[in-house]
Amino acid sequence: MKIGIGKAGAKIILIGEHSVVYGKPAIAIPFNGIETMVEITKTNDDLSIDSMYYKGLLNESPLVIEGVSKLIYYVLDKLNIKKFGLHFKINSNILGQRGLGSSASVSIAIVRAIYNAFNLVITNQELINLAMYAEKINHSNPSGLDVYTIVYQKPILFVKDEGFRILSINLNAYLLIVDSNLPSKTKIAVDHVRELYNKDFDVVNQVFIELAMLTNNASNYLATNDIEKLGQTMNLAQVLLEKIEVSNETINNLIESVKKFQVLGSKLTGGGMGGSIILLVKTKEEALKIKDELSNNKVWFYNLGDLKNDKSIC
- Domains identified in the chain and CATH numbers: 2-166 (3.30.230.10), 174-310 (3.30.70.890)
Nearest to 149 by CA among 12, 307, 23, 267: 12
Question: Do residues 102 and 92 make contact, with C-beta atoms less than 8 angstroms apart?
Answer: yes
Cα angle, residue 237 at apex, residues 271 and 21 outer, rounded to 5°: 45
Mean pLDDT (the chain, rounded): 92
Identify the DSSP state of 99: S
Q: How confident is the model at residue 309 (pLDDT cuts 50, 70, 90)?
A: low
pTM, full prediction: 0.87
Instruction: Tell me whether strands 86-92 and 48-50 are parallel, antiparallel or unpaired.
Output: parallel
User: pLDDT tens digits, residue range 58-68?
Assistant: 999 998 899 99
Indicate if the pLDDT at residue 240 is higher than 90: yes
Outline where DSSP puts E strands in the chain: 2-15, 26-42, 48-50, 55-57, 86-92, 156-159, 163-166, 174-179, 263-269, 276-281, 299-303
